[in-house]
Chain A
Amino acid sequence: MNSPYSFSTRLFLLFIAILLLIYFARIFSLPESWGDYGYYRGDYIDEEASKAMVYGGNDTCQSCHEEVYTIKKEGAHKKLSCELCHGPVGEHVEGKRYIGELSVERGTKQTKMCLRCHQEVTGRPETFPMVDAKQHLEDEKVDASNACGSCHTVHEPLETMRYVKRLRTLREGLDDDDE
Chain B
Amino acid sequence: MTTMNDFMRKLIVSDDTIAPKEPQYRHIEQEMIDRDRRGFIDKIMSGALGGSLMLVVPMHSELFGELLSEEPTISLDESKKKQYCFIVDVTGCIGCGACCVADRKENNVPEGQYRTWVERYVIDMLGEVYVDSPNGGEDGYSESRDDITNEIKDSYFVPKLCNMCDEPSCVQVCPVGATFKSPDGFVLVDNTHCVACSYCVQACPYGVRFINEQTKTADKCTWCYHRVRKGKEPACVAACPTGARKFGDLNDPESEVAKIYHSKALLSVLKKEQGNDPRLYYIGAGQEVI
Contact = CB atoms under 8 A, between A and B. Distances in A.
A60 B64 contact: yes
B92 interface: yes
A94 B145 CA distance: 43
A88 B105 contact: yes
A39 B142 contact: no
B241 A125 contact: no
A44 B239 contact: no
A54 B238 contact: no
**Binding site secondary structure of chain B:** loop
A81 B59 contact: no
Interface string A127-154: 0100000000000000000000000000
B98 A116 contact: yes
A121 B142 contact: yes
A103 to B, nearest CB: 12
B209 interface: no
Contacts of A57: 67, 232, 238
B64 A96 contact: yes
A117 B140 contact: yes
Contacts of A27: none
A122 B123 CA distance: 11
Interface residues of A, number: 48
Contacts of B278: none
11 contacts: A34-B177, A45-B183, A48-B226, A50-B72, A53-B70, A84-B98, A90-B105, A95-B58, A116-B97, A121-B144, A122-B155
Contact of A51 (B98, B226, B241): B226
B239 A81 contact: yes
Contacts of A50: 70-72, 226
Top 5 A-B pairs ranked by shortest CB distance? A116-B140, A49-B229, A40-B180, A51-B226, A49-B72
B178 interface: yes
Contacts of B139: 116
Nearest to A40: B180
A95 B68 CA distance: 8
Contacts of A96: 59-61, 64
Contacts of B280: none
Interface residues of B, number: 61
Interface of B: 58-61, 63-65, 67-68, 70-72, 76, 91-92, 94-98, 102, 105-106, 120-122, 139-145, 152, 155-157, 177-183, 188, 190, 192-193, 222, 225-227, 229-230, 232, 235, 238-239, 241-243
A125 B64 contact: no
B63 A80 contact: no
A94 B96 CA distance: 28
Contact of A80 (B67, B155, B241): B241
Interface string A115-127: 1110111111100
B68 A53 contact: yes
A95 to B, nearest CB: 4
A121 B238 CA distance: 24
Interface string A73-100: 0000001110110011111011111000
A81 B64 CA distance: 17
Interface string A93-114: 1111100000000000000000
B226 A121 contact: no
A83 B144 contact: no
A38 interface: yes
Given A79-B241, A116-B98, A55 B106 contact: yes
B177 A83 contact: no
Q: Which of A39, A93, A116 has the most CB of B within 10 A?
A: A116
B101 to A, nearest CB: 8
B226 A49 contact: yes
Given A44-B188, A48-B222, A122-B152, A93 B64 contact: yes
